[in-house]
Amino acid sequence: MRILIVSDAWEPQVNGVVRTLQATIAELRNAGHEVAVISPDLFRSIPCPSYPEIRLAFAGRRAVGQRIRAFAPQAIHISTEGPLGMAARRWCIANRFPFTTAYHTRFPEYVAARLPVSPAFVWRFIRWFHRPARHIMVATRSLSRELADQGLAQTMLWERGVDHALFRPDRAPHPAYDGLARPIQLYVGRVAVEKNIEAFLDTVQPGTKVVVGDGPALAELQARYPDTIFLGKQAGEALAATYSGADVFVFPSKTDTFGLVIIEALSAGTPVAAYPVQGPGDIVTGGAGALDTDLDRAIAAALCCDRADAAALGARYNWPACTAQFAKALTFIPADTAPRDAALGTTILSA
């Protein structure tokens, strides 16, 4: 199948959406599918206010439509609600080409954390954007229920995966952990206001707090919490070592729809402490961690969990299964709907 993915979130961003798309695309290609991406790097763009890693592309329906026709896809997936997603949505509707979307972030709450905008107002936009989609891919069943309550019932499950060769319990701890007071309590992710990191850094459990990641709130948090270890952005084996060497992984966000970092931590055998909200509430079960409205209590309880239980739960998540769910959501589209334009070559869109 020739699959086109349109996403405003793309390299060099480092976040769960980009990593999920990259892993899914790799699996799709390994399975023999031909995949192309329309992303901001193909157009002139500007940094997104308050989130400069995201580039807002200057591209309308015409420019995006040229690239769609050049690739002649059999399936179009619109991953984000940004300028490129909007342009692709308009093209698909105008050309009666069926498409799927994904709901990655609790966007109304995310916006409300940054701007004086009512979540109810943002939900109006979310309903408008996703309503024409044949399927809306979501990471959890609770998110599916939430969208159904908003009148968006055409959801299909698209979970997340883990590279188990990288994130595993037997990996040696990160060298930065040498000499740190235990227990080591770890946060991994974007360092920004919507991640609610202060709730973690304000907890009073003994030991050492470690923050891995970068973002606009980093300098402020470093100044306010001098006893916290900030390791900045980590990747590959260094990132995996931060998980495996920690005693507990703390996920303070209340706006994420899933939390890819949660299953990476579990795969490394590190119990998870979080609030009982969407994302961790869908993932953390049994003895793999603890959920509590009081994050201090959640951390204390998670520290008593069996690391083997955490690793067993993390082992359930893998990219082949995740990609099979993604591909299943596309199969309603007949092959003969592919748009073609002989006047446009196949080199306009980089695959």
Strands (DSSP E) contained in the chain are 2-6, 34-38, 45-48, 51-57, 75-78, 100-102, 135-138, 155-157, 184-188, 208-212, 229-232, 248-251, 272-274, 289-291
> Can you give the residue ranges of every domain in the chain?
2-161+319-337, 175-314
pLDDT of residue 334: 53
What average pLDDT does range 181-209 have in this prediction? Answer: 96
Q: φ and ψ at 249, to 5 degrees? A: -105, 125
- The three-point CA angle 278-155-328 to 5° equals 115
Cβ atoms of 70 and 76 closer than 8 Å: no
pLDDT of residue 105: 73
Total count of residues recorded for the chain: 351
Contacts of residue 146, Cβ cutoff 8 Å, sequence gap at least 6? 278
Indicate if the pLDDT at residue 100 is higher than 50. yes
* pLDDT tens digits, 13-66: 778 899 999 999 999 999 999 999 999 989 887 776 666 666 677 787 899 999
What average pLDDT does range 182-196 have in this prediction? Answer: 95
Residues 213, 118: Cα–Cα separation, whole Å: 29
Beta bridge mates, 125 = none
Residues 180, 186: Cα–Cα separation, whole Å: 12
Indicate if the pLDDT at residue 121 is higher than 90. no
Contacts of residue 239, Cβ cutoff 8 Å, sequence gap at least 6? 188, 212
For the chain, give the percent of residues with pLDDT over 90.
76
pLDDT of residue 59: 84
Residues 32, 197: Cα–Cα separation, whole Å: 41
Read off the DSSP letter of residue 51: E
* pLDDT tens digits, 293-303: 999 999 999 99
Contacts of residue 193, Cβ cutoff 8 Å, sequence gap at least 6? 113, 114, 216, 217
Q: Which residue has the higher pLDDT, 336 or 342?
A: 336
* pLDDT tens digits, 72-95: 999 999 999 989 999 999 999 999
pLDDT of residue 349: 38
Domain topology for 175-314: Rossmann fold (3.40.50)
Q: Which residue has the higher pLDDT, 335 or 229?
A: 229
What average pLDDT does range 98-112 have in this prediction? Answer: 77
Indicate if the pLDDT at residue 336 is higher than 60. no
At position 287, the amino acid (one-letter code) is G
* pLDDT tens digits, 228-241: 999 999 999 999 99
What average pLDDT does range 254-271 have in this prediction? Answer: 94
If pLDDT is split at 50, 70 and 90, which confidence band does 350 have? very low
If pLDDT is split at 50, 70 and 90, which confidence band does 333 have? low
* Tokens at 242, concatenated: 């931060």
What average pLDDT does range 189-197 have in this prediction? Answer: 93
Domain topology for 2-161+319-337: Rossmann fold (3.40.50)
What average pLDDT does range 321-341 have in this prediction? Answer: 74
* Tokens at 142, concatenated: 């609770």
Indicate if the pLDDT at residue 345 is higher than 80. no
Asked if domains 2-161+319-337 and 175-314 share a fold, the reply is yes
Beta bridge mates, 185 = 209, 248
Residues 167, 114: Cα–Cα separation, whole Å: 32
Indicate if the pLDDT at residue 256 is higher than 60. yes
Cβ atoms of 140 and 158 closer than 8 Å: no
Indicate if the pLDDT at residue 344 is higher than 70. no
Residues 180, 245: Cα–Cα separation, whole Å: 11
pLDDT of residue 49: 65
What average pLDDT does range 271-294 have in this prediction? Answer: 96
If pLDDT is split at 50, 70 and 90, which confidence band does 351 have? very low
pLDDT of residue 120: 85
Cβ atoms of 79 and 104 closer than 8 Å: yes
pLDDT of residue 111: 60
